């Protein structure tokens, strides 16, 4: 019985030693792999393309963007004084305070239904009172002087 126990423990010891040597050998090969620098990657020569000019915004696009900012500022103004100052700045972009503002409430087959027409002065006051800008600019018309002569809005 003692001989059997001895042979089992020897077999077990040899197995443990073999596993330990394999583990140590694997660690060393991993270290070598990590320590070796990666082979250089070939770099392709890229010809620099001629820079394309930035798209030029039309006067209408610039005006629409400024007006959207004014509308949001009036609606978000902290007090009446700030809102009134912003309204005065925005009105300078229009040909006059009676510039028509049309709000599209429905469109089907190219036929538009508008809410009751208003003026830019009244619309800005409406934004100040409600503190909500629920519309976006869908069409803007400019006069020869670069001032807004008509504005068409839609629901967001």
Separation of alpha carbons 147 and 62, rounded Å: 12
Evaluate whether 151 touches 67 at the Cβ level (below 8 Å): yes
The H or E element that residue 130 is part of is: helix 120-130
Q: pLDDT per residue over 43-84, tens digit each? A: 566 555 555 554 546 788 999 999 999 999 999 999 999 999
The pTM for the full model equals 0.64
List the domain boundaries for the chain.
Answer: 59-155
Integer distance in angstroms from the first to the last C-alpha of the chain?
A: 90
Residue 105 CB contacts under 8 Å (≥ 6 apart), including other chains: 113, 114, 115, 155
Provide the token pair at 82.
């700030």
CATH topology of domain 59-155: Nuclear Transport Factor 2; Chain: A, (3.10.450)
Q: What per-residue confidence (pLDDT) applies to 125?
A: 97
The H or E element that residue 3 is part of is: helix 2-35
Q: pLDDT per residue over 100-143, tens digit each? A: 999 999 999 999 999 999 999 999 999 999 999 999 999 999 99
């Amino acid at each position: 019985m003692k001989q059997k126990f001895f042979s089992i423990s020897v077999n077990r010891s040899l197995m443990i030693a073999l596993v330990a040597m394999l583990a140590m050998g694997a660690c060393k090969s991993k270290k070598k792999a990590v320590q070796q620098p990666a082979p250089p990657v070939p770099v392709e020569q890229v010809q620099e393309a001629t820079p394309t000019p930035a798209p030029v915004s039309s006067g209408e696009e610039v005006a629409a963007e400024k007006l959207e900012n004014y509308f949001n500022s009036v609606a978000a103004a902290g007090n009446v004084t700030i809102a009134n100052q912003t309204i005065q700045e925005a009105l300078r972009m229009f040909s006059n305070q009676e510039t028509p503002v049309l709000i599209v409430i429905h469109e089907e087959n190219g036929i538009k239904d508008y809410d009751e027409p208003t003026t830019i002065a009244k619309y800005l006051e409406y934004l100040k009172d409600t503190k909500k800008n629920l519309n976006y600019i869908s069409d803007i018309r400019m006069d020869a002087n670069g001032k807004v002569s008509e504005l068409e809005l839609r629901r967001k």
